A and B are shown apart, each in its own frame.
Chain A
Amino acid sequence: MTSTGTTAGAAGSGRTADGLPVTRAEYCVIGCAEAWRGNGEVLASPMGGAIPAIGARLARLTFSPDLLLTDGEALLMGDVPAVGSPSEVTEGWLPYRRHLELVASGKRHVMMGASQLDRHGNQNISCIGDWSRPARQLLGVRGAPVNTLNNPTSYWVPKHSPRVFVEKVDMVCGVGYDRAAAAGPSATRFHRIPRVVSDLGVFDFETPDRSMRPASLHPGVTADQVASATGFPLTIPDEVPRTREPTPEELRLIREVIDPRGLRDREVRP
């Protein structure tokens, strides 16, 4: 059932009280929040860090009021507390088992982190090096395979570098477009990677061969900077849009309501 509550300030007026310029971290928040625009009544699962969590809460408080959010454990939050603060209203119960059921139902859009990501969107969080005896063991595949085959999966990369954006990932945890296509119709049926947000810009796979392309660069970021920070060839058109400006109301919500402690600036330097 959709909510009939009022939408907080899509059309804010004036400037923020402090008048400070928009930081890179705040453009990242906007880039993440936009991932959930138009998603309707689905679970927004921000997992890769503080900035996706701030973005999901911003989306719910503004243009996507019907999103569901968890407290990071087993409860669905009825309110939208600041990141790092406890929720006071519980609207539902979502223990791991039901969470996995929700994943399979597709009514979810997750934003995961990525230790490695390639040009077709294959993602690795398991280990670096040869799987049978890794140079660096990381988390393990976790739910990346089930996520990518069942519900829209976006990624957040706080430090865009050739170490993350690689030609070939060492272990395919999250499935990319080429691997899904090769695995057949059961794999492609619900597979979708809407976007990758990094500290440099927003990327998508809306190209003929489903390879990653810049959809917008954050203000202050040059095409050369992105190309040299990406470990695979990236075609950057002459005219790449800039990531949009936050509205004054969005800035107020980010700075005063959702992230008053400035966790975003620890993830991406101002």
Chain B
Amino acid sequence: MTAEEAVGRLGSGMTVGIGGWGSRRKPMALVRALLRSEVTDLTVVSCGGPDVGLLAAAGRIRKLVAPFATLDSVPLEPHFRAARQRGAFELMELDEAMFMWGLTAAAHRLPFLPVRAGLGSDVMRVNPGLRTVTSPYEDGEELVAVPALRLDAALVHLNRADIHGNGQYLGPDPYFDDLFCSAAEHAYVSCERIVATEEFTKAGGPQTLVVQRHSVAGVVKAPNGAHFASCAPDYERDEPFQKHYVASAGDPEAWRAFTERFLSGGESAYQSAVQAWHEEQR
């Protein structure tokens, strides 16, 4: 399906999980399609990067569930930062392990999973709904009961997929993409290349096939679809462009110009505009 068709299955008010990590293998083409749609009022669940930044800048987030937002080589995500400082959305700030176990609980259809992380920290203060659970065994330990992070939809980007929804990552880290897909009612996978199923094992061992078709509702071909995040080994992060994004985010006039130039057309217009921008920088 196309990115527009995938986003067309989403509705305002949904809880949407976004795969990748920071500014790494983010489904940016799907996020850009989301920006072109009318879908808003979202609860976004993400190890935040520019996905969170772009959606926050466009005012699409009602609530964010995240342990952080970062651009990796640029530590602070400028739009996330600005949105928080103007109180633009509700935040459920979780520790990274709590986040992972919340997704795992959802994938396992469990109401919660116990974790040690969070005790004693202000994660408990800023999430007054969090509860603890006491071990029924001799140790009697009291642990945090991280609630399941159930998703209406998940958006992830992988290196390769077949038309049936089997997905393959070829970089060093699968991140939590398979968990996002398993925790979601419907998952949409964009990929650099759609390949025939029999091509998979030529590119990597069976352990690279992290996402299976039974948990995927749609596949979108999106070459360079993680740009400007990294998508190793297909490409590294576009650092100059990410810097341009950060610089533009710092000033309303510059952000308007960025939006107009890069985000006012479709995905192919975006990719051409980025290419033209790079040529200007030479």
Interface set, chain B 107-148, CB cutoff 8 A to A: 115-123, 125-126, 141-143
Asked if B176 is at the interface (CB within 8 A of a chain A CB), the reply is yes
Query: Is there an interface contact between A172 and B121, defined as CB atoms closer than 8 Å?
Result: yes
- B82 neighbours in A (Cβ, 8 Å): 137
Asked if B281 is at the interface (CB within 8 A of a chain A CB), the reply is no
Q: Which of A75, A135, A183 has the most CB of B within 10 A?
A: A183
- B68 neighbours in A (Cβ, 8 Å): 139-142
B interface, size bucket: 35 or more
Query: Is there an interface contact between A146 and B173, defined as CB atoms closer than 8 Å?
Result: no
Query: Is there an interface contact between B120 and A179, defined as CB atoms closer than 8 Å?
Result: yes
Task: Provide the bound-state CA to CA distance between A191 and B86, in Å.
Answer: 35
Query: Is there an interface contact between A96 and B176, defined as CB atoms closer than 8 Å?
Result: yes
Asked if B196 is at the interface (CB within 8 A of a chain A CB), the reply is no
Task: Provide the bound-state CA to CA distance between A175 and B125, in Å.
Answer: 13
Shortest Cβ distance from A236 into chain B, in angstroms? 28
Shortest Cβ distance from A57 into chain B, in angstroms? 20
Cβ 8 A contact of B84, one of A96, A127, A173, A190 = A127
Query: Is there an interface contact between A173 and B69, defined as CB atoms closer than 8 Å?
Result: no
Asked if A132 is at the interface (CB within 8 A of a chain B CB), the reply is yes
- A182 neighbours in B (Cβ, 8 Å): 120
Asked if A180 is at the interface (CB within 8 A of a chain B CB), the reply is yes
Shortest Cβ distance from B134 into chain A, in angstroms? 9
Asked if A150 is at the interface (CB within 8 A of a chain B CB), the reply is yes
Query: Is there an interface contact between B175 and A146, defined as CB atoms closer than 8 Å?
Result: no
Shortest Cβ distance from A41 into chain B, in angstroms? 22
Asked if B75 is at the interface (CB within 8 A of a chain A CB), the reply is yes
Query: Is there an interface contact between B95 and A74, defined as CB atoms closer than 8 Å?
Result: no
Task: Provide the bound-state CA to CA distance between A187 and B116, in Å.
Answer: 7
Asked if B70 is at the interface (CB within 8 A of a chain A CB), the reply is yes
With CB as the reference atom, state the residue of chain A lying closest to B116: A149
A interface, size bucket: 35 or more
Asked if A159 is at the interface (CB within 8 A of a chain B CB), the reply is no
| Binary CB contact string for chain B from 81 to 123 against chain A (1 if under 8 A, 0 otherwise) | 1101111000001111110100000000000000111111111
Cβ 8 A contact of A180, one of B93, B96, B117, B120 = B120
Query: Is there an interface contact between B174 and A142, defined as CB atoms closer than 8 Å?
Result: no
Cβ 8 A contact of A149, one of B117, B174, B175 = B117
- A132 neighbours in B (Cβ, 8 Å): 87, 126
| Binary CB contact string for chain B from 57 to 70 against chain A (1 if under 8 A, 0 otherwise) | 00000000011111
Q: Which of B85, B87, B120, B173 has the most CB of A within 10 A?
A: B120
Cβ 8 A contact of B75, one of A135, A139, A190 = A139
Asked if B76 is at the interface (CB within 8 A of a chain A CB), the reply is yes
Query: Is there an interface contact between B76 and A143, defined as CB atoms closer than 8 Å?
Result: no
With CB as the reference atom, state the residue of chain A lying closest to B169: A95
With CB as the reference atom, state the residue of chain B lying closest to A171: B122
- B97 neighbours in A (Cβ, 8 Å): 100, 103-104, 143, 145-146
- A136 neighbours in B (Cβ, 8 Å): 81, 85
Asked if B180 is at the interface (CB within 8 A of a chain A CB), the reply is no
Q: Provided the pairs A96-B21, A139-B70 are in contact, do residues A145 and B85 lie with their beta carbons within 8 angstroms? A: no
Query: Is there an interface contact between A175 and B119, defined as CB atoms closer than 8 Å?
Result: yes
21 contacts between A and B (CB under 8 A): A73-B172, A73-B173, A96-B21, A96-B175, A104-B116, A126-B122, A131-B122, A131-B125, A137-B85, A139-B76, A140-B48, A140-B66, A141-B95, A141-B122, A143-B96, A149-B116, A149-B119, A173-B121, A174-B121, A175-B120, A186-B141
Which B residues are within 8 Å of any A CB, using their own CB?
Answer: 21, 48, 66-70, 75-76, 80-82, 84-87, 93-98, 100, 115-123, 125-126, 141-143, 172-176
Which A residues are within 8 Å of any B CB, using their own CB?
Answer: 73-75, 93, 95-97, 100, 103-104, 126-127, 131-146, 148-150, 171-175, 179-180, 182-187, 189-191
